A and B are shown apart, each in its own frame.
Chain A
Amino acid sequence: MKPKYIVGIVIIAVFVVFAAINLSKSLTPYVSVDQARKSDSVVQVKGQRVAGSENFDIQHKIFQFKMRDENGQEFDVVYNGVKPANLEEAKEVVVIGRFNGSRFEADQLLVKCPSKYQAEGAQS
């Protein structure tokens, strides 16, 4: 075998391993609150905002609110950012982050609004 091929194969192997490790590290599953509490890695939790629980700290620009996951469990969320304007209208909220103590610290706060692209009720 020519050295060229050996070098090539080694580089490819390194890349594949690199990609695989990276993939397994960055998988962020959807979990329930209970699972999120136990998890050490970043997860996403889907649920609904508890109406009226929002609290925006204008000094620290920290936004807090309560969420209810799909099993009906409530938990506190802190988000180091400004409250998304359309939170009130959101059908669903997805928080990506991890628990720190009793509060879920969200790195990302996704707000899912009704009928983003598809007209409502257009399913046949």
Chain B
Amino acid sequence: MISGILAISIAFVASTVATAAYWLYYKENDERFYNLANRGFAIMGVGVIFSVVLLYFNIFTHNFQLDYVYSYTSTKLSTYYLISTFWAGQQGTFLLWLMYATVFGIILIRTVAKKQPMVMFFLMLVQSFLLLILLKKSPFSMIWNVHPDAAVGMMPADGRGLNPLLQNPWMIIHPPIMFVGYSSTVVAFSLALSAMVTRNFQGWIKTARPWVLFTTLTLGTGVIMGGYWSYVTLGWGGYWAWDPVENASFVPWLFTAVLLHGLVIQDRQKGLVKTNLFLAGLAFISVLWGSFLTRSGVLADFSVHSFAESDLNLYLIALVTFFSGIFIYQYFKSVKLIDSPRFAEGIFSRESFMLIGMMSILFTGITVFIGTSAPIYTGLFGKPSNVSQNFYNTISIPVAFFMLLSMAIAPLLAWKISDFRKKGTIGLSAAAALLVTAVSVALGLTKPVSIVLVFLSIFAIVINSKVSFQFLKKIPTKSGAYLSHVGIAMMVIGIITSSMYSTSEKVTLPEGQFTKTQFGYDIQFVNFVNNPDGKERAKLLVKKEDGGENYVALPQFYFSDYTQSYMVSPHVKVGMAKDIYISPISFIPGEKSDNQQVELTRNSTQTVGDIKVTFNKFDVSNHMENAPTSVKADLTIAVQENSNWKDYSIAPAMWMENGKLESDEAAVPNTGYKIRIESLDASQGMVRLAVMKPSTDQPAGPNVLAVEVSEKPLISILWFGALVFIGGVGLTLADRFRKA
């Protein structure tokens, strides 16, 4: 589509012109360059917005001539899902990224660009790079450009449709939130680079703080939403799998969170100058690196998530190395000039404890980063390997310990000086936490690691709640920071209980019967029911053994033409104390369809499996007056027994009853074989038999649905804590604007 390609080309040219003009304005300080740059930015912005609108227009008008529209949409999709097809493919997500960066650019132009044009220079440099990628892999390619065998000008009747996994309400809001956070890391990056180029190492942090908060908020919300989506729709039983795609957004979030704390310290004590510059770079570079890992196809063998192999490898590698190079160069040039003052005395200052927390999060970020990249560097020296989930889980434990400890103690310490005044509060809070922990142990908290972490979490919750309540009375928005820590500590508790104490059982449910589970309730598989959305669900009755409340569970289980596989979605019964999670695994039809039809004329023989079937003659019998006439096929079956063939005679019958043909099964002795008459032609002396082979893997019987039932204790605390966290960060962001 020429208009779209043209729009992106113009945007690209305008973007590079603007980049150069911002640079010239910085060098020459000539207003005309600034105006030129902003004009370039405006043209770039119009080009990007036009592209977004154009792509949406084509999606909604079902223009399947566009490869993107053909590949990800179809006429069957509802309006909401058509909205989400925009980010179903790589090109769309890059366009989304560009659109957000444009909005950030507008805000920066209205705030700091005039005084700090280098911020815009770096922002536009990234922008130009992304536009270049879209020139290479355009969302506006026609179907015949991509598929060489498609005729020029052809219009497919319908598109391929959207992956059913993405046809979920969460997938309408999760990706745009994720991407807004992802793309916003560019702002702190540009601010830090500009600070280094202009040698103003302190001024940038005031501008950066709300942006960093914004990234923490949006990326955090995105990560949590992704986990929730995974939990309620994917059916594998968890919310976090340390998959490269998850890690690619988790790592930048961790680095941004560390940066956020670093900025607080720098703002107060002028310290951590080098650290903060470094962190701003690290966060953005981890975003680029994550894009490379998840979009280039290098991890295709290691993730069920990753996009398929793509032709963007070179571009993505260039993107990472180019911006890492610029950053590292500037950083080492600047580091010598920075004189970061000592900012805290002694160990028991708030800064010291914040540093412990920051270091534990930074450590997590770096190890997850290294772990996720394992296939790359192990591939350089031999067999590519990835790390198992154990790696991440093991690392998390000591990290959580230090993080919780610092979160609990830091709010009670004074800034700057080592003064441990509030020993009383600590003692009381610890006593309260100990009490709650003791009750938890009595209720079944047994594993030592979990006991320690739960104690620390409650300790942190008590202290941070106390501090946030004090602020709520005075300046409510100031309570946000402490509230967000309450949320994090609650999430830790929820993660521990729902993972370390989750119990699950695989049960096979014969249709129409209640089957016992270890959880004290019986489950019955009733049947499959059709849902209005076309996705079949298994209807299950869950009955409490002690006569409690019964309920109907309707987990999804259907065959998708799109993925050519069964799609599973669990049923989650949400409860305060625990969730009951039922996920179908496999359906085993009761009647084995493993039968073979043979056509035999009189006195002919055929081998079926390991028996030989010979048709001798028809027997027409009419024994009783009122019984219907039946026809029997007189068969001789040769069965191999101890290397000798032995003959058996059997005679399956077929008869007319109430105007319908009926037939019975005759079993072949000493084998699992059964034979039934399918049809017959008496005049020709021909019979068609259905030979049912013995099913080796299951007895003939009712349909069976295998499901996994699990109980996730206190997972509600995880989601509730997540909401508290999001609310807390949101309040802190609002606090920034209160000051502004």
Contacts and interface: CB of A to CB of B under 8 A. Distances in A.
A58 B137 CA distance: 49
B258 to A, nearest CB: 15
Given A15-B398, A113-B565, A117-B163, A58 B588 contact: yes
B311 A124 contact: yes
A103 interface: no
Interface in A43-94: 46, 54-58, 61, 81-86, 89-90, 94
A56 B588 contact: yes
Contacts of A81: 506, 585
A23 B145 contact: no
A28 interface: yes
A118 B394 CA distance: 33
Given A22-B395, A27-B385, A85-B585, A116 B563 contact: yes
Interface residues on B, range: 35 or more
B280 interface: no
Contacts, number: 141
Given A22-B391, A27-B386, A123-B311, A85 B71 contact: no
B168 to A, nearest CB: 14
B706 interface: yes
Contacts of A94: 301
Interface string B699-713: 000001010100000
Contact of A86 (B311, B363, B562, B566): B566
Contacts of B352: 4
Nearest to A46: B301
A85 B307 contact: no
A119 interface: yes
A119 B72 contact: yes
A57 to B, nearest CB: 7
Interface string A1-44: 00010010000100100110011011111110000000000100
Contacts of B306: 117
A121 interface: yes
A112 B370 CA distance: 25
A117 B308 contact: yes
A122 B91 CA distance: 12
B295 to A, nearest CB: 10
A56 B587 CA distance: 11
Contacts of A84: 585-586
Most A-side CB within 10 Å, residue of B88, B147, B304, B506: B304
A7 B508 CA distance: 55
Nearest to B510: A58
Contacts of B391: 22-23, 25-26
B390 A82 contact: no
B386 A85 contact: no
Given A110-B304, A113-B563, A124-B311, A56 B378 contact: no
A115 interface: yes
Nearest to A117: B307
Nearest to A91: B564
Contact of A61 (B67, B309, B506): B506
Contacts of A116: 163, 304-305, 308, 563
A42 B71 contact: no
B147 A121 contact: yes
A65 to B, nearest CB: 11
B698 A56 contact: yes
B61 interface: no
Contacts of B305: 116-117
B696 interface: yes
Contact of B146 (A27, A55, A124): A124
A82 to B, nearest CB: 4
A112 B563 CA distance: 11
Given A28-B385, A113-B565, A117-B163, A61 B311 contact: no
B301 A55 contact: no
B304 A119 contact: no
A9 to B, nearest CB: 11
A28 B386 contact: yes
Nearest to A26: B391
A36 to B, nearest CB: 11
14 contacts: A7-B347, A19-B395, A23-B370, A25-B391, A29-B384, A30-B383, A46-B301, A85-B586, A112-B304, A115-B308, A116-B305, A118-B310, A121-B147, A122-B71
Interface of B: 67, 71-72, 88-89, 137, 141, 145-147, 160, 163, 301, 304-311, 346-347, 352, 359, 363, 367, 370-371, 374, 378, 382-388, 390-391, 394-395, 398, 506, 508, 557, 562-566, 568, 584-588, 696-698, 704, 706, 708
Given A83-B586, A116-B308, 10 more contacts: A19-B367, A26-B390, A26-B391, A54-B697, A83-B706, A86-B563, A90-B565, A113-B563, A116-B304, A119-B71
